[in-house]
């Protein structure tokens, strides 16, 4: 499926891991992609992932703008950039409600579709980007967007190999607090407590499960501090609910283990 979004250049603001991966994937699909970033993007031009590097304001000349920035920077871009009537704008932010509120103040005629690809990597920056990063991943698109606009973005998302999934912003933020933000917080908290204990034997006693759980603790504060702040209310509710389950006396946890096994079986069936 094609639409107006595919008939002109795609502009990407923010060419780190996510933005550069979008650029790589779309360029491989024949799109003309412009990139704007504080960093020198000549390596991406040399790879053929970008047709050229431009200033942020030059993105007004593109058909589709992808805001591949942290949540607060996305809100700032929505307030600052000179979008034009008829232009389609989407974002990759992992917290949707605050971004949706900012998007309501866009000039008349600017079309906005909130988005969030559930993909990533342990690496960062465009050095870690790859064209197939989104292959097989879920890509949330906001239920508040006009259906025609959402379908234009969905067509682009499918070209990246992802599965568009429509979701209300508030529901999205409530669920990712459990599925993404809380796992990050708990992994980080456990790693920080192990560092406080500072016992070399603790590192040796970490089995495969513990090491897998701590993988998320590698994530940087610069990104996650902002995400956890933006979704603080939902994360607090999720933490309270999970702590209440985990904090029960051990002899009462049988039902929790049974419920967990039921969920895990459903998770396996859904893949």
Among all chains, which residue has been given the structure tokens 């050229």?
52
Full-model pTM: 0.90
Among all chains, which residue has been given the structure tokens 């390596």?
43
* Residue-level pLDDT at 220: 86
DSSP state of 180: I
Cα separation, 80 vs 84, in Å, equals: 12
* Residue-level pLDDT at 270: 65
Sequence spans of domains, the chain = 4-167, 171-269
CATH superfamily membership of 171-269: 6-phosphogluconate dehydrogenase C-terminal like domain (1.10.3660.10)
Cα separation, 255 vs 16, in Å, equals: 43
Angstrom CA distances, 118 to 137, 179, 197, stand at: 6, 10, 34
Angstrom CA distances, 167 to 60, 96, 113, 173, stand at: 28, 10, 11, 10
Report the side by side order of strands in the sheet with 10-13.
Answer: 52-53, 33-36, 10-13, 64-67, 88-91, 111-113
Per-residue pLDDT of the chain (271 residues; tens, 9 = 90+): 344 445 789 999 999 999 999 999 999 999 999 999 999 999 999 999 999 999 999 999 999 999 999 999 999 999 999 999 999 999 999 999 999 999 999 999 999 999 999 998 767 889 889 999 999 999 999 999 999 999 999 999 999 999 999 999 999 999 999 999 999 999 999 999 999 999 999 999 999 999 999 999 998 898 899 999 999 999 999 999 999 999 999 999 999 999 999 999 998 766 5
Residue 155: exposed, middle, or buried by beta-carbon count in 10 A (0-12, 13-18, 19+)? middle
Query: HSE (CB half, 13 Å, CA atoms) of 177?
Result: 23
The residues, ordered by sequence, that sit 6+ positions from 60 with a Cβ below 8 Å of its Cβ are 81, 82, 83, 84, 87
Contact of 112 with 145, CB cutoff 8 Å: yes
3-state secondary structure of 41: coil
In sign, the C-alpha dihedral spanning 202, 220, 42, 158 is positive
Structure tokens at 108: 């008349």
In sign, the C-alpha dihedral spanning 162, 141, 22, 52 is positive
Fold of 4-167: Rossmann fold (3.40.50)
């Amino acid at each position: 499926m094609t639409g107006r979004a595919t008939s002109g250049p795609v502009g990407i603001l923010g060419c780190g891991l996510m933005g550069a991966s979008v650029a790589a994937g779309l360029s491989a699909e024949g799109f003309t992609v412009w990139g704007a970033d504080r960093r020198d993007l000549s390596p991406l031009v040399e790879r053929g992932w970008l047709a050229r590097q431009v200033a942020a304001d030059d993105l007004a000349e593109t058909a589709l703008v992808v805001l591949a920035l942290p949540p607060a920077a996305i809100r700032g871009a929505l307030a600052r950039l000179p979008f034009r009537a008829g232009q389609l704008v989407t974002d990759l932010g992992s917290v949707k409600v605050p971004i949706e509120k900012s998007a309501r103040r866009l000039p008349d005629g600017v079309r906005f579709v909130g988005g969030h690809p559930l993909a990533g990597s342990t690496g960062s920056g465009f050095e870690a980007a790859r064209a197939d990063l989104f292959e097989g991943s879920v890509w949330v698109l906001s239920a508040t967007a006009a259906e025609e606009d959402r379908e234009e973005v969905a067509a682009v998302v499918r070209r990246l190999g992802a599965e568009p999934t429509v979701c209300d912003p508030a529901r999205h933020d409530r669920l990712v607090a459990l599925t993404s933000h809380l796992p990050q917080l708990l992994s980080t908290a456990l790693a920080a407590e192990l560092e406080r204990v500072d016992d070399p034997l603790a590192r040796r006693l970490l089995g495969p499960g513990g090491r897998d759980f701590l993988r998320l603790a590698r994530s940087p504060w610069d990104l996650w501090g902002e995400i956890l702040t933006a979704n603080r209310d939902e994360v607090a509710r999720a933490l309270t609910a999970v702590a209440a389950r985990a904090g029960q006396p051990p002899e009462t946890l049988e039902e929790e283990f049974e419920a967990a096994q039921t969920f895990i079986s459903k998770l396996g069936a859904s893949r």
